[in-house]
Each structure stands twice: as C-alpha cells, then as structure tokens.
A and B are shown apart, each in its own frame.
Chain A
Amino acid sequence: MNNIRKNRWKDQVFKIWGIFCTLIGLVLLVVFIGDILIDGLTRINWDFITNLPSRKPENSGIYTALMGSIWILLLTTIIAFPIGVAAGIYLEEYSKKNRLSGLLEINISNLAGVPSIIYGLLGLEVFVRIMNLGASVLAGSLTLSLLILPIVIVATREAIKAVPSSIKDASYALGASKWQTIWHQILPASGGGILTGVILALSRAVGETAPLIVVGALAYVPFVPQSPLDEFSVLPIQIFNWISRPQAGFIENAAAAIIVLLAITFVMNGIAVYFRNKWQKKWK
C-alpha cells in the first residue's frame, strides 16, 4: 500500500515540475518581450523610422536598414520561391526511388543543418568574389536564398503529400497530363501549405545576421539601395552595430529597432499560421 502511495506522490511531483518547466518557457518569453518594450518603446516614433543612421543616438534612425531588409526580402522571395517549389514538386511527383533521389534527400536534410555562417562563407567566395557582385543586395539575397532553399523544399513536399490521391486520380482519368494535373489540381490544392512554408522561411531570412555580415553587408549605410547591385545594411546588422556601442542611447535604439524587427517576424509568423489553419480545414 505504501509503495503505491509513494508512486502516486512521485507522479504528482513530476506533473507539477512539468507545468513549471512549460511555464518557464512562457514566462521567459513574456519577460523578454516586456523588457525590450520597456527599453525601446519610448524611442519609437516617426523620425526613428525615417531618419538615416547617425553618430548621435538621438538623431539615428533605421530608415536605410529597414529599406535594406525589404530589398533583401523581395529579392530572396523572387529567387528562392520558384526554385524551392520546383525542386519540391520534382522530388514529390517525378523522382523515382533510385540512387539520385536518395542522394537528393540526404543532401537536403544535411543542408538544412548547415550553420548559417557557412552559407555566408559560400556567398562571400562565390557571389561576392567569383561572380564579382560585391557586397551588394543581390549577393546577400542569393546567399539567403540558398540558406532557406531546404526549408521551402521540405514545406512544398509536405503540402503536396497532403493532397488526397483521389484528386490526382480523377484528373488523370479525365485525360489530363502529368503537368496539367500538377498545375491545375495539385498546386491550387496545396497552395496554402506551400505559402505557409515559404512565409516561415522568409521570416527566418529577415532575422538572419551572420551570413550577411560575412558577405560584407555594412553597418553604416547613409543611403537606400537604388538597384540590386548597391551596398546595403539590414535591421539585424543595425541592431548588432548599436549593441556593440558603449553609449546608453544606442542601447535604447537597439531595443527600439528590435521591436520593429520582432513586429515584422511575428506578423509574418501570424500570416503563416493563418494560412495553415485555413488550408487544414479544407480537407476535413
């Protein structure tokens, strides 16, 4: 009898410990965001968004970094979206089980685990030096595109896999070719899932710092890029630069810029979750 009571007691203790650990994660998230809001919220105003970087913290703004991030986001989407989705379609619909498909699979899984800074070294050598693009927005976007490619491919495959085979069979029965079936049936049906994955991948690209530093993105850029071959900065690098400065005013700036960056990432995550929920209901 005693033994049973002891086991039940242990069970309860673990349950409380489990709740405690789960809440720690949540509490940290709240403390974290709360602290940054307290440090930076008073600093955010229209001038902060539209001012150029400056030596004086109170005059500094994030305009060039924010525009750089938007450039990076657009170009990365243009490059990574078609290639990633095309590769995902190939692997899911065309590729047969052979050595090539096995190699592609293990390779993509490995690429997903390569540290982002290594992609930076690749970009530095291939895009900046060999292709002679310099430390441009285009070189940065190409580097980040390669970085998020595995995420886009995996998301595309998952979304396509979830389309019921009855839809495919019906399309073939009506005499549609393979590509007609993919283009008119499978892609519209899996679009929500693909979009979710792409947006999540892009939200990761917006927050990336290390590969862009290696590629040579600047911390101080007094102008907005006019073409893909211009030099640039992005929000995370601006934040990194402000954190590394001793004056307290820059720390406040860093916190304010973090609020803007977090707002962008959370909005993108929110949109992704919205698409996922909307799309999941479709097959029920």
Chain B
Amino acid sequence: MQKIKELVIERALLASSLITIAVTLGIVLVLSIEAFQFFSEVSIFDFFTDTQWTPLFTEKHFGILPLLSGTLLTSFIAIAVALPIGLTISIYLSEYAPRSFRKTIKPILELLASIPTVVYGFFALIVVTPFLQQFIPSLSGFNSLSAGIVMGIMIIPYISSLSEDALHAVPRSLREASFGMGATKLQTAFKVIVPAASSGIIVSIILAISRAIGETMIVAIAAGQQPRLTLDPTVPVETITAYIVQVSLGDVQHGSLEYRTIFAAGITLFVFTFLLNTISYKIRKKYQKKYE
C-alpha cells in the first residue's frame, strides 16, 4: 500500500514538471501554426525586405523591418544607459563598498526591478519626455529616447545584481595576490576580477538585452504606435511588442490576416529572445564550475 502511494505521488510530481515542457511545445506550436498560415498569404521575402508595416490600413504592407528597428533602437538606448551604470554599481558594491552598505543597497536597487512596467511607462510619458523636451525642443511627445532611457533604468538591477554576484564569487586569493603585487583596487578590479568574472557579467548583459527586447508596456505607452524605419530617437516608433498590444486592444476578427500578423510578429520576437537565452544558458553551464 505504502509503495503504491509513493509511486502515485512520484508520478504526479513528474507530471507537474512535464507541464513546463508542454508550455514550451505549446508556445512553439501556436506561434508556428499561426505564422505558417500568415506566410501562406504573405511572402516571407516581403516580410523581411519590405520597409513598411501597414497591416491595418487599406493599402497593406507586411515588412517587419520597421518594427524590428523600433525594437532594436529602444533596446540599444536602454542598454547604453544600463550597462555603464549597472557595471559600475556592481564593481563598486563588490570591491569598494563596506559589507553592510552592500547588504542594504542591493535589495533597494532590486526594488527597481519589481515595479510594474506600466508604472515605468507612466513615468516615461508624463515625466521624462516633458523634461527632455526642455533640452531637445524637437522631441516628439512619443519617442524612443525617453522610453529607452526609462527601460534602461528598469534593467539596471538586472545587470548590477547578477554581475555583482559573479564578481563576489571570485576567490579572495586572486585579490590578495594582486594587492600583494602593489596594485590598487581599481587595477585589481579591472585587470583581475572583471576578467575572472567575465562569463557571469556577459550572462547578465545578455539577459538584460533579452529583457529589453521583450519589454512591452514602457514602449507601448511612451514610444508611440507608428512603425517607422529610422534610427532617429526623437520621433515616434513602434516595437514588435507594442504592435501586438495595439492589435489586441482593437477589434480584430479571429482567423483574419490582421489577427495572424501578431503571431508572425510574436515568432520573430520569440526567436530573438530564445537565441539570447540559449547563449546565456550555455555560457553559464560552461563556466559554472570554474572556481568550485
């Protein structure tokens, strides 16, 4: 009796963990089936080369490039903000700051990551854009600059926390050897500790990029809803995610071509983040045991 009970429980637990595989299969199937039907009506060549995205207009164009450029532009601005600040914070906290300071500051910084993204969107649109317009009068009310900057603030803790963990895991002996040679803390940090922790730092940066590419509400609120193939950060753009939100808010018939565009856009987004996540997983696995 006891044995049967144990076996039933084990099977139930196994079933629960297999649900995660079902989720991945579900995502891949749903995206590819709908996208397949989309590509039976729209040529895949046009999808990647057409420079206009106007599926909701009478004259329809299905070029993903404007959405892709909007996504990459906002993500690039976000990383340009978060990378220097996040890395400096991680080096400062790990190598310079007193232990007690580090222990109090880290959870507070992580609060930044727990704020709902719709709140950041509000901040970008209502506070940051009017503020920046004082310096850049030509800045449009919706633009990728303030959306990108605010998104950068949001992902600072992703970079600072994970990098700090990696820096902190470098054995003391390496630091002591470097100090013993007469190096300053700065020299030790940049010439010994950062190279030793580089895989962990790279993982944190890749995860931050993946997070920025998939971010939705900030860009849907503050970057606008006008697909535009441009690198100009002062004009409205639309990201892949913002487009999906725009269509979902409207009244689009299930099974129509417009409905399928969100899955075609979704699979593009999924492929990007999937590649980034897999690379970071591989790096993490490869270097995990380095100092154990």
Contact = CB atoms under 8 A, between A and B. Distances in A.
B278 interface: yes
Given A113-B210, A209-B117, A214-B248, A14 B273 contact: no
Nearest to A95: B17
Interface in B244-292: 244-245, 248-249, 254, 262-263, 266, 269-270, 273-274, 276-278, 280-281
A240 interface: yes
Interface string A94-125: 11000000011011111101111111111011
Interface stretch (B43-51, B53-61, B62-70, B88-96): B88-96
Contacts of A227: none
Interface residues of A, number: 86
Given A86-B12, A87-B13, A18 B88 contact: yes
Given A7-B186, A149-B19, A258-B122, A28 B153 contact: yes
Interface string A207-245: 111100110100100000000000000001001100110
Contact of A15 (B96, B107, B249): B96
Interface in B4-45: 5-6, 9-10, 12-14, 16-17, 19-21, 23-24, 26-27, 30-31, 34
Contact of B123 (A32, A91, A108): A32
A17 interface: yes
Contact of B20 (A35, A119, A149, A178): A149
B233 interface: no
Contacts, number: 247
Using C-beta atoms within 8 Å of the partner chain, give the interface range for chain B. Answer: 35 or more
A31 B132 CA distance: 16
Given A261-B116, A265-B116, A111 B20 contact: yes
Interface string B176-219: 00000000111101000000000000000001001101111100
Contacts of A25: 85, 89, 109, 112, 153, 156-157, 160
B13 A239 contact: no
B122 A179 contact: no
Contacts of B138: none
Contacts of A179: 5-6, 9-10
Nearest to B277: A113
A54 interface: no
- Among A126, A149, A210: residue with most chain B CB under 10 A: A210
Contacts of B126: 39, 243, 251
A236 B24 CA distance: 26
A273 interface: yes
Contacts of B244: 117, 120-121, 210, 214
A108 B117 CA distance: 23
B125 interface: yes
A87 B263 CA distance: 29
B60 to A, nearest CB: 21
Nearest to A108: B20
Given A117-B244, A243-B122, A254-B122, A86 B13 contact: yes
Contact of B112 (A29, A91, A207): A29
Given A29-B111, A117-B244, A87 B20 contact: yes
Contact of B186 (A14, A19, A210): A14
A62 B11 CA distance: 44
A273 B107 contact: yes
B105 interface: yes
Nearest to A28: B153
A271 interface: no
Contacts of B189: 14
A121 B21 CA distance: 17
B139 interface: no
A122 B105 CA distance: 38
B269 A115 contact: yes
Contacts of B125: 243
Contacts of B280: 113
B117 A87 contact: no
A168 interface: no
12 contacts: A7-B187, A35-B123, A86-B13, A110-B274, A115-B269, A117-B269, A149-B20, A177-B6, A207-B116, A240-B220, A243-B221, A265-B115
- 6 tightest CB-CB pairs across the interface, nearest first? A115-B214, A18-B92, A207-B116, A86-B16, A90-B13, A113-B277
Interface of B: 2, 5-6, 9-10, 12-14, 16-17, 19-21, 23-24, 26-27, 30-31, 34, 84-85, 88-89, 91-93, 96-97, 105, 107-109, 111-112, 114-119, 121-123, 125-127, 153, 156-157, 160, 184-187, 189, 207, 210-211, 213-217, 220-221, 241, 244-245, 248-249, 254, 262-263, 266, 269-270, 273-274, 276-278, 280-281
Given A8-B184, A118-B270, A210-B217, 5 more contacts: A18-B96, A25-B153, A29-B112, A111-B20, A115-B216
